[in-house]
Structure 1
Amino acid sequence: MNFSAKQVVFISFMLFSMFFGAGNLIFPPFLGQSAGDHLWAALAGFIVSAVGLPILGVIAVAKAGSLNELNLRVHPIFALIFPFLIYIAIGPGLAIPRAGSLAFEMGAAPFLPENLVESSGSLLIYTIVFFGLAAWLSMYPSKLISLFGKLLTPILLALIAIIFVRSLFDPIGSFESPIGNYRENPMFQGILEGYLTMDALAALAFGIVIANTLTAQGVIDSKKKSRYMMYAGLGAGLLLAVIYLILGYLGAGSSSLGQAENGAIILSNIMTYLFGQSGTLLLGIVFTLACFCVSIGLITSCSQFFSTAIPKVAYKVWVVILAVLSTAIANLGLTQILQISVPILGMIYPIAIVLIFLGLFDDMIKRNSYIYITVIGFVALYSILDTINKSLLNNVWSEGLEILPFYIEGIGWLTPAVLGLIVGYLLGKVKGASSVTRTNP
């Protein structure tokens, strides 16, 4: 079966909605205000990492056929453990409950009396309804193309377009001088900010949803499926880039409204300036819709993964389990969960990035098992040590780790990755290519 251009657009819309959550709304305006008249260089760097890495993640999974096939190139044990860490960290362990909490803070709390906002019962009722609806819509993943592609994504894009057009007729202000690292190295700082979105993890996780959706739509051939997954990744990436440009532009002109500590405050100031009190309502709708789409995408992808990994528990049962868990965590321990989950995300993110690049260049390295093992092993060792240093030892080891290039910037794993590549290549040469080359899946 061949997909029409219209169907590919809908799948791209679907993937875009699964990526575009509250964090994606908040980062670009803050970058824009900080970068000032260095905006375009900073945004170029931001798009390279915040859009480029997720697209490459989707393409890597598509080339391999599945995330499991990609993981198996490292080791069967790695293929068992690593995806569990990904799905737990970006699912019920962090992203799903955070989405419900942020939707309440930005979409409901501004319109409630102060006593209700401070009441734990308000958040409980809201998250029960929020995750109940998300779970209900996640029960039928084959219908996600219609839900996202034809309804939710067009609404979200239309709302952002309204905000942008309004800003053209009523300019917020001029760009100010850049601050911090945006003065000297705006593009590099933008790359680092985009890296911190950690959307490449979501790209690995969402691959299963896109693949299963294509199968449900009648695309059985693996090559066609991979091609359409790549098209969806490129389409979603283009939409993300356009939205980031708009949000960054709005943020850059917002300095006249006052400096803010985060992107949420910047957006609130912008919306109040452009639309008055109704701006709070419009922003609440945008935040709620973005969080809702991401929640559905994450519940769906996590449930499909866990139902495959533990087939005795059906997909719909996993949907309910994840919705209930997310509701409980959002109400009872989100702060504590963040303290645990954020370091775990920081630990597995470098591993995910090098896995993506190994998958992309698999033909070049001829599936040398040693390269996969040594690169992933060296980066994993570094990530574990760095996580222990920052989370448990109060940076006692930082002085030693700082000898690694770019450690302070947050990408100290580059050196272990290069070393692993060299060691793996040499091991492959010594052991003989025939002993390390795998057949195509």
Structure 2
Amino acid sequence: MDRRLSLSSYIFIGSMLFGLFFGAGNLIFPVHVGQEAGSNMLPATLGFLVTGIGLPFLGVVAIGISRSDGLYDLASRVHPIYGVCMTVLLYLTIGPFFALPRTGTVSYEIGIAPYLDSNYQKIGLLIFTLIFFLAALFFSMKPTKILIWVGKILNPMFLVFLAILIVTAFLKPMGAISDIAVESSYQAAPFIKGFTQGYNTMDALASLAFGIIVVQTIKGLGVNNPRNIAIDTIKSGVVSLILMAIIYGSLVYIGATSVGQFPVSENGGIALAQVAQYYFGSFGSILLAIIVTVACLKTAIGLITACSETFSEMFPNSVGYKTYVVIFTALACGVANLGLTTIISLSIPVLMFLYPLAITLIFLGLLSPLFKNRQIVYIMTTVFTIFVSFADGLNALPENIRTAPVSQTILNFYSHYLPLFDIGMGWVFPAIIGLALGWLISLFQKQELRF
């Protein structure tokens, strides 16, 4: 008989969910959304919350409902090769190519960059990231103690400081929201722009990678029925959802009001450092820098550990866990030296390609009991989505590639024939059509596909 979780258990799992998802990107992107959205911050915030909170939460629930053993198992229901490709690409994205380097560059932008002359920024970033990732490398070899210590002491410290910053910003706003100009990208469809900006947190991708941790925690507390696992995940996540929504909404507000004192920055890390300096002077900036750096170090250790464990398990005949730790740490350190703004710009095409596939995989996992996990439904939905997903990625590439004759031919075709493509949501209708067709075919299919 399934055990029912206590209130303390729900709070514990909710806190763990928050700890899993709240990293460097969660801190800087809402601030930048606020700066660019200006007086349109409310619809932009709602859109950001859908991808920044809603989808990650559904991703965790999907792992539980679909009875899968994690991302590879869920993605392999499309095809085993797709399972490998999706898992590798997703972990490289939340690992050494984008999210992991960002932990170092965010720490640098907030803690060091404001105090260095522009002539020394590159060498400063190099020295800082070398020290940062060497520390991450050291602790990733045996990560347990530092993760617990940081999680119990430094994360609460960070949240207290952030709460003080948020309350101060509300009591003494730097400008009136109604007076803040709206950047061109947020004028026509601020909700959709906020929605796609939420991709940058990478949390929906991370939910597919880390969802199994939450499910296993709930199972470890004596809950085994899939329906009860889903219900307990939802209940546990309510605390985390509310907390994240308050923090995100407040950071967007801080970003929007900051334009009353500062110009729109290149990235949210610069803006947050300016805000801390404005309200608390040098001492506040230094305190924020220390806490953010250590919190980012914890995130870096977690990402290095997760990626290294996954690759060593998926490819048992390759190198071992510790070798993967060294490889991923070195890669991340190299990418980090491109700078935060460059990392963000490089990640956007990859995220525009990956996110539609991740979102459809989440909803397939959630709906899987209804179509009894029939493989044709997974295949049709993914095939219909991936062609648009590719075009979304192409549309987000640098201008010199996007304006090439071949690229323009492809993009003009999609833009002309596919609704919502111009705002990055062209995959929605094809995904729905693929799901419906796959479901219909499955009703008449006598034998399940096997690969």
Structure 2 residue aligned with 1:101: 105
Residues 82 and 311 of structure 1, relative CA distance in 2, 3 Å threshold:
same
Answering whether residue 269 of structure 2 is matched by residue 264 of structure 1, we say yes
Q: CA deviation at 1:341?
A: 5.0
Equivalent-residue separation in structure 2 for 1:349 and 1:373 (angstroms): 17
Gaps of 5+ in 2: none
Q: 2:448 aligns with which of 420, 430, 436?
A: 436
Structure 2 residue aligned with 1:399: 412
Structure 2 residue aligned with 1:160: 162
Q: For residue 251 of structure 2, what is the amino acid of its counterpart?
A: L
Structure 2 residue aligned with 1:77: 81
Q: 1:27 aligns with which of 12, 26, 29?
A: 29
Equivalent pairs counted in the alignment come to: 432
Residues 357 and 338 of structure 1, relative CA distance in 2, 3 Å threshold:
same
User: Mapping of 1:199-238 within 5 angstroms?
Assistant: 199-210=203-214, 219=221, 222-223=224-225, 226=229, 233-238=237-242
Structure 1 residue aligned with 2:251: 247
1:82-121 CA distances to partner (integer Å, 9 max, x unpaired)?
10111112211222123213322322233346665342xx
Answering whether residue 319 of structure 2 is matched by residue 305 of structure 1, we say no
Structure 1 residue aligned with 2:362: 356
Q: 1:288 aligns with which of 293, 312, 337?
A: 293
Answering whether residue 343 of structure 2 is matched by residue 329 of structure 1, we say no
1:296-344 CA distances to partner (integer Å, 9 max, x unpaired)?
2211221221121123444344333322332233347999877765433
Structure 1 residue aligned with 2:54: 52
Answering whether residue 374 of structure 2 is matched by residue 365 of structure 1, we say no
Contact 1:208-1:304 at 8 Å conserved across structures: no
Equivalent-residue separation in structure 2 for 1:418 and 1:135 (angstroms): 43
Residues 142 and 383 of structure 1, relative CA distance in 2, 3 Å threshold:
same
Contact 1:209-1:300 at 8 Å conserved across structures: no
CA RMSD of aligned residues (A): 3.4
Q: CA deviation at 1:81?
A: 1.6
Answering whether residue 288 of structure 2 is matched by residue 274 of structure 1, we say no
Residues 437 and 328 of structure 1, relative CA distance in 2, 3 Å threshold:
closer
1:366-411 CA distances to partner (integer Å, 9 max, x unpaired)?
2222111010111112222443565445341222111311111111
Residues 231 and 125 of structure 1, relative CA distance in 2, 3 Å threshold:
farther
1:28-72 CA distances to partner (integer Å, 9 max, x unpaired)?
223334444443343233212221011111111222332233123
Q: For residue 44 of structure 2, what is the amino acid of its counterpart?
A: A
Contact 2:150-2:295 at 8 Å conserved across structures: no
Q: 1:421 aligns with which of 419, 431, 435?
A: 435
Equivalent-residue separation in structure 2 for 1:143 and 1:61 (angstroms): 28
Equivalent-residue separation in structure 2 for 1:238 and 1:405 (angstroms): 33
Q: For residue 373 of structure 2, what is the amino acid of its counterpart?
A: R
What TM-score comes out, normalization by structure 2 length?
0.83
Q: CA deviation at 1:148?
A: 5.0
Q: For residue 327 of structure 1, what is the amino acid of its counterpart?
A: C
Equivalent-residue separation in structure 2 for 1:300 and 1:220 (angstroms): 27
Contact 2:25-2:102 at 8 Å conserved across structures: no
Contact 2:63-2:215 at 8 Å conserved across structures: no
Equivalent-residue separation in structure 2 for 1:389 and 1:45 (angstroms): 21
Answering whether residue 187 of structure 2 is matched by residue 174 of structure 1, we say no
Equivalent-residue separation in structure 1 for 2:36 and 2:432 (angstroms): 32
Q: Secondary structure at the match of 1:91?
A: helix
Residues 337 and 265 of structure 1, relative CA distance in 2, 3 Å threshold:
closer
The more displaced of 415-424 and 402-411 is 415-424
